[in-house]
């Protein structure tokens, strides 16, 4: 009995110790730090300013205008997933101050914003973020013009269990940094499933720390987790300014988010992103639903992120991960085609193969395959893979992936693509999305604007995120029969992380046409939608609606009503070829080992030679006249293609739409400027061995490869203009 009692006491002591470690008793929460040097050397400001102005010199830029580049989607270690990726996968949790230094010295941005997940915020973190952003913005001012404009913000991270309650992720960006213009706390998304980033029990965190030798980074991470868990939920129904500062505020729908921002009364933008990223987007989701019930605010929701380090959200495709044809709303698994293999279908094939290997009959195995597809689609959110016990990445082939999309998003959801958004129209009110288009990084390593070079895959992309769940989650053993998933036990993150690791890229940029590098001028450009996106390089792009005298009637992002023949002009100039290493101002401005730690020894370092633009593609979209009109009929991609000669001074084309005068309906036009292909991180996504029809026979995912293997495959960098909205002028 004494022995048993001693064992019990010992186990209790161990459990208490692990719980204490997991509650952060032996660590310190991640802090934001202080950006770079006390003040950016004047020569650094001068060099940076000169390089930006030189970028548009000699290419016909309008007088009094310049193109500025930024990143409006940046996470630090204050986001739970970023912290976990940094600690649990051999990296480090980077800070808000690191993001400031990276934007200034590594990627040479003109503006950026911080967008940590609101659900992971705490009063201390929010205060430190504000202070750090003010310090970053104050650095580098020379004769009143800042070298880097810093915007404060957060991410509203919503994930639904089915298409009807899914609204997705949106970044909130605030215009100003003075105290009166900043809410007391960021507003988080109240998901139907609760907090989508559920904290593991303290004892489990303690066990992980113990298994890793009680490294200080694990102990500090535990303290950060505990800090998040200690923030209480704000009371519902209380005006925002009457809530205490030390609670977590929630909004369940975009309409509720807009209402709370209205209550705060501060200038802000709300930018949807990752809309085709299927890792958290349910099958059958359609962004068009947000035109109903006040879930779209055209004054705040003026921009959409078309490209990030999580891939492209641009392209609509005919394929669907599920069909909803029955009146009861139950999803049906579509059969595969040469262009697309539905993941639900492959779930059935995996079970069929295991069933046959056991020696069961063909009819029995077909029954189990149908059952697997049903369980796959019945699982909440995008976690159907959990119905197939113990599956490996290779078994799924390229199921769920768009085979012909540019740098595709994982488990592509075409119903929420930017093209589908621009084609949407609410039947009764005729309300539409008039989005400007931007790119950003969605970095989780504080590396704002990380797409300047295709290098350092594990640092310049979010590849580490794919392995975050591995130490925390263990899947069931392989089974020859699928099983339903308990809604309370599902994870939105696919455990077949080897597939997801192949869909992280170096990230895009937001470009603005602004009169000067100032907070006011940049914000004005964002509001009027005179913006565009790039997949990383600093491509120069102009797109205008012009009159018979070649004068601009509406620039990109603008709208014009006419029955006349619309005429357009496009000018595109390739980005500068990059030289190895970092420019002098980076070396002088970022002291000690920071250049290697943050930039990995490679910075935005342009030569004086520009890359060739190979072609200009025009996309025409006619918003749907009614809900029955096919998206395939109204989205013309490409509508026109103009080949370019690859001259260093760029490419210039003009075109008209002879159909508009007689069409009797509105039209939307945007352009893509395509550069010559370059070796690109994860440019081949799963790198499938294919048959003659393009179907995947065997994937070669970018996971488990050497850390120095960047999985380079040629892809064509590009820039996307904001649309020009040419409305049919009614009598």
| Residue 23: pLDDT band with limits 50, 70, 90 | low
Residue 117 three-state SS = strand
Do 549 and 698 share a structural domain?
Answer: no
Is 698 inside any structural domain? yes
Verify that 349 and 369 share a domain, yes or no. yes
Residues 6+ apart with CB under 8 A from 363: none
Of the chain, the end-to-end C-alpha distance in Å amounts to 95
Rounded mean pLDDT, 277-291: 90
Angle subtended at Cα 659 by Cα 657 and Cα 662, rounded to the nearest 5 degrees: 135
Nearest to 365 by CA among 377, 348, 378, 379: 348
Higher model confidence: residue 146 or residue 64? 146
471 band by pLDDT with thresholds 50, 70 and 90: very low
Q: Among 49-58, 175-184, 656-665, 716-725, which stretch is predicted with the lowest mean pLDDT?
A: 49-58
Strands 718-721 and 724-728: unpaired
The structure's pTM equals 0.94
Evaluate whether residue 498 is within a structural domain. Answer: yes
Whether residues 387 and 470 share a domain: the answer is: yes
Pairing of strands 724-728, 667-675: antiparallel
Residue 497 lies in a domain: yes
- Mean pLDDT across the stretch 92-115? 95
- Say yes or no: 374 and 325 in one domain: yes
Give the span between the Cα atoms of 453 and 134, in whole angstroms: 29
Kindly state whether residues 571 and 486 are assigned to the same domain. no
Q: Mean pLDDT of all residues in the chain?
A: 88
Return the pLDDT at 198.
Answer: 62
Q: How many CB atoms lie within 10 A of CB 398?
A: 26
**Among 142-146, 155-159, 407-411, 560-564, the least confident range:** 142-146
Minimum mean pLDDT range among 63-67, 121-125, 629-633: 63-67
Give yes or no: residues 325 and 358 share one domain.
yes
Question: In 3D, which of 82, 470, 156, 507 has the Cα closest to residue 310?
Answer: 507
Spell out the alpha helix ranges (H) of 315-388: 343-357, 362-378
Helices (H), 594-683: 594-599, 631-634, 660-663
User: CA triplet 521, 526, 527: central angle to 5 degrees?
Assistant: 95
DSSP element (H, E) containing 172: strand 169-174
pLDDT over 70 for what percent of the chain? Answer: 85
pLDDT for 469 equals: 52
Whole-angstrom CA distances from 716 to 55, 208, 312, 691 are: 21, 42, 13, 24
- Averaged pLDDT for residues 85-109: 89
Structure tokens at 522: 């940049």
pLDDT at 470: 42
Whether the predicted pLDDT of 475 surpasses 70: no
Name beta bridge partners: 613: 675
Burial of 21 (0-12, 13-18, 19+ CB in 10 A): buried
Q: Residues 571, 470: one domain?
A: no
Residues 591-621: tens digit of each pLDDT = 778 899 999 999 999 999 999 999 999 999 9
Tell me the residue length of the chain. Answer: 731
Best CA proximity match to 610, nearest among 673, 538, 541: 538
Q: Identify whether residues 695 and 669 lie together within a single domain.
A: no
Reduced 3-state DSSP string for 194-211: CCCCCCCCHHHHHHHHHH
Count of CA atoms in the C-beta half-sphere (13 A) of 102 = 33
- Sign for the pseudo-dihedral over CA of 334, 337, 339, 340: positive
Answer yes or no: do 571 and 469 share one domain.
Answer: no
CA dihedral 645, 646, 648, 649 (to 10 degrees): 50
Q: Are residues 634 and 710 in the same domain?
A: no
474 pLDDT band, cuts 50/70/90, is very low
CB 657 within 8 A of CB 667: yes
Question: Which stretches of 563-687 are assigned E, i.e. beta strand?
Answer: 567-573, 576-578, 606-610, 613-621, 635-643, 651-656, 667-675, 678-681
Residues 345 and 485 in one domain: yes
Q: What is the reported pLDDT for 11?
A: 47
Contacts with 693 (C-beta within 8 Å, 6 or more apart), sequence order:
338
Q: State yes or no: pLDDT of 496 exceeds 50.
A: no
Six-digit token pair at 180?
Answer: 């009166």
Residue 306 scores a pLDDT above 80: yes
Q: Which of 251, 127, 111, 144 is nearest to 189 (CA)?
A: 251
Angle at 78 between CA 248 and CA 41, to 5 degrees: 125
Lowest mean pLDDT segment, chosen from 225-229, 342-346, 540-544:
225-229
pLDDT of residue 427: 84
| Residue 156 predicted with pLDDT over 50 | yes
The answer as to whether 147 is a domain residue is no
314 and 718 in contact (C-beta within 8 Å)? no
Which secondary-structure segment (H or E) carries 226? helix 216-229
45 pLDDT above the threshold of 80 = no
Q: Is the pLDDT of residue 272 over 80?
A: yes
Considering only residues 517 and 491, tell me which one the structure prediction assigns the higher pLDDT.
517
**Nearest Cα to Cα of residue 291 among 272, 313, 309, 319:** 272
The CA-based angle 510-461-114, given to 5 degrees, is 50
DSSP output for 241-256: GGS-TTSBEEESSHHH
Query: Which has the closest alpha carbon to 104: 49, 163, 57, 63?
Result: 49
Cα distances (Å, whole numbers) of residue 583 to 68, 106, 136, 249:
19, 9, 21, 44
Calculate mean pLDDT across residues 14-32: 65
Of the residues 645, 661, 676, which one is the last residue of a structural domain? 676
Mean pLDDT confidence for 182-205: 75
| Neighbour count for residue 506 (Cβ, 10 Å) | 28
Please compute, for residue 183, the number of CA atoms within 13 A of its CA located in the half-sphere on the CB side.
30
pLDDT of residue 193: 58
- Compute the distance between CA of residue 622 and CA of residue 726 in angstroms, rounded to an integer: 10
- Phi, psi of 681, rounded to the nearest 5 degrees: -55, 125
CA max distance for the chain: 99
Is the pLDDT at 429 greater than 50? The verdict is: yes
Kindly state the tokens that stand for 266: 């501060």
The per-residue pLDDT for 83 is 87
The 10s digit of each residue's pLDDT in 232-245 is: 999 988 999 999 99
Which of the two residues, 85 and 398, has the higher pLDDT score? Answer: 398
3-state helix, strand, coil in the chain (%, to 5): 30, 20, 50
Verify cis geometry, omega within 30 degrees of 0, for the bond prior to 638.
yes
490 pLDDT more than 80: no
Among the residue ranges 154-163, 186-195, 251-260, the one predicted with the least confidence is 186-195
Number of structural domains in the chain: 2
Judge whether 26 lies within some domain. no
Mean pLDDT of 399-420: 96
Structural domain harbouring 329: 320-401+463-503+677-715
Residue 304 lies in a domain: no
pLDDT at 692: 87
Can you tell me the distance from the alpha carbon of 578 to that of 653, in angstroms, rounded to the nearest whole number? 27
- Distance (Å) of CA 395 to CA 283, 294, 372, 713: 20, 42, 14, 23
Task: Answer yes or no: is 693 within a domain.
Answer: yes
3-state secondary structure string across 500-548: HHHHCCCCCEEEEEECCCCHHHHHHHHHCCCEEEECCCCCEEEEEEECC
627 pLDDT band, cuts 50/70/90, is: confident
**Residue 197 confidence class, pLDDT cut points 50, 70, 90:** low
Portion of the chain with pLDDT greater than 90, in percent = 64
Answer yes or no: is pLDDT of 49 > 70. Answer: no
- Asked, for residue 709, whether it belongs to a domain, the answer is yes
Band of the pLDDT at 63, cuts 50, 70, 90? low
The more confident residue out of 269 and 30 is 269
- What is the rounded CA–CA span in Å between residue 471 and residue 209? 11
pLDDT above 60: residue 494: no
Segment 671-694 shows an average pLDDT of 95
**CA-CA distance, 212 to 690, in Å (whole number)?**
41
Residue with tokens 């991410």: 155
The conformation of residue 451, written as its DSSP 8-state character, comes to G
Q: How many CB atoms lie within 10 A of CB 162?
A: 16
Token pair, residue 39, equals 């003040």
Q: Looking at the structure, do residues 468 and 557 belong to the same domain, yes or no?
A: no
Dihedral angle computed from the Cα positions of residues 392, 398, 400 and 405, in that order, rounded to the nearest 10 degrees: 150
- Stated as kind and residue range, the H or E segment containing 589 is helix 584-589
């Amino acid at each position: 009995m004494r022995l048993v009692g001693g064992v019990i006491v010992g186990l209790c002591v161990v459990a208490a110790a692990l719980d204490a470690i997991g509650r952060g008793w032996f660590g310190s929460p991640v802090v934001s730090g202080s950006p770079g040097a006390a003040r950016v050397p004047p020569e650094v400001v001068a060099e940076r300013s000169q390089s930006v102005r030189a970028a548009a010199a000699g290419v016909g830029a309008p007088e009094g205008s310049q193109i500025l580049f930024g990143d409006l989607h940046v996470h630090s270690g204050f986001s739970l997933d970023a912290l976990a990726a940094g600690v649990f996968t051999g990296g480090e949790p980077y800070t808000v101050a690191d993001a400031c230094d990276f934007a200034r010295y590594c990627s040479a941005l003109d503006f950026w914003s911080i967008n940590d997940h609101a659900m992971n915020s705490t009063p201390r973190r929010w205060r430190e973020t504000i202070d750090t952003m003010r310090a970053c913005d104050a650095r580098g001012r020379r004769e009143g013009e800042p070298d880097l404009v810093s915007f404060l913000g957060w991410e509203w991270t919503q994930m639904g269990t089915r298409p009807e309650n899914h609204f997705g992720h949106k970044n909130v960006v605030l215009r100003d940094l003075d105290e009166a213009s900043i809410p007391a706390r960021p507003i988080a998304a109240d998901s139907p499933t609760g907090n989508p980033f559920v904290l593991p029990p303290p004892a489990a965190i303690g066990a992980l720390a113990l298994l890793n030798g009680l490294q200080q980074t694990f102990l500090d991470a535990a303290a950060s987790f505990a800090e998040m868990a200690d923030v209480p939920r704000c009371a519902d129904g209380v005006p925002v300014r009457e809530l205490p500062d030390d609670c977590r505020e929630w909004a369940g729908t975009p309409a509720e988010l807009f209402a709370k921002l209205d209550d705060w009364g501060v200038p802000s933008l709300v930018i949807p992103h990752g809309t085709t990223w299927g890792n958290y987007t349910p099958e059958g989701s359609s962004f068009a639903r947000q035109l109903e019930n006040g879930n779209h605010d055209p004054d705040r929701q003026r921009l959409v992120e078309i490209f990030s380090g999580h891939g492209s959200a641009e392209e609509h495709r005919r394929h669907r991960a599920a069909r909803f044809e029955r009146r009861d709303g139950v999803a049906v698994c579509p059969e595969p085609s040469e262009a697309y293999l539905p993941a639900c279908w492959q779930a059935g094939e995996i079970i069929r193969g295991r069933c046959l290997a056991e020696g069961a009959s063909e009819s029995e195995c077909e029954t189990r395959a149908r059952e697997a597809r049903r369980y796959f689609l019945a699982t909440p959110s995008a976690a159907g893979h959990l119905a197939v016990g113990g599956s490996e990445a290779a078994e799924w082939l390229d199921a769920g992936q768009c085979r012909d999309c540019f740098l595709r998003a994982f488990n592509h959801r075409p119903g929420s693509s930017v093209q589908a958004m621009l084609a949407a129209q609410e039947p009764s009110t005729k309300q539409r999305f008039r989005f400007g288009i931007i790119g950003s990084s969605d970095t989780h390593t504080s590396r704002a604007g990380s797409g300047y070079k295709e290098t350092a895959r594990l640092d310049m992309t979010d590849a580490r995120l794919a392995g975050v769940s591995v130490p925390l989650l263990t899947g069931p053993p392989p089974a020859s029969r699928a099983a339903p998933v308990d809604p309370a036990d599902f994870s939105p993150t696919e455990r077949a992380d080897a597939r997801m690791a192949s869909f992280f890229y170096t990230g895009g940029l937001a470009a603005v046409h602004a009169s000067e590098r100032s907070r006011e001028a940049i914000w004005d450009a964002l509001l009027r939608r005179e913006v565009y996106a790039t997949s990383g390089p600093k491509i120069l792009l102009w797109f205008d609606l012009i009159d018979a005298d070649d004068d601009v009637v509406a620039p990109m992002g603008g709208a014009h009503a006419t029955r006349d023949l619309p005429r357009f002009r496009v000018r595109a100039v390739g980005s500068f070829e990059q030289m190895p290493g970092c420019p002098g101002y980076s070396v002088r401005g970022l002291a000690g080992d920071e250049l290697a730690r943050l930039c990995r020894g490679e910075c935005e370092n342009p030569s004086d030679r520009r890359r060739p633009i190979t072609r200009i593609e025009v996309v025409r979209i006619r918003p749907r006249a009614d809900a029955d009109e096919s998206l395939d009929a109204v989205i013309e991609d490409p509508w026109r293609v103009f080949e370019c000669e690859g001259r260093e001074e760029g490419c210039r084309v003009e075109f008209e739409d002879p159909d508009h005068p007689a069409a009797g309906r509105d039209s939307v036009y945007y352009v893509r400027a395509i550069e010559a292909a370059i070796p690109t991180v994860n440019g081949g996504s799963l790198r499938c061995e294919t048959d003659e029809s393009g179907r995947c026979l065997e994937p070669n995912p970018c996971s488990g490869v050497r850390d120095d293997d960047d999985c380079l495959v040629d892809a064509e960098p590009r820039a996307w203009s904001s649309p020009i909205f040419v409305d049919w002028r009614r009598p």
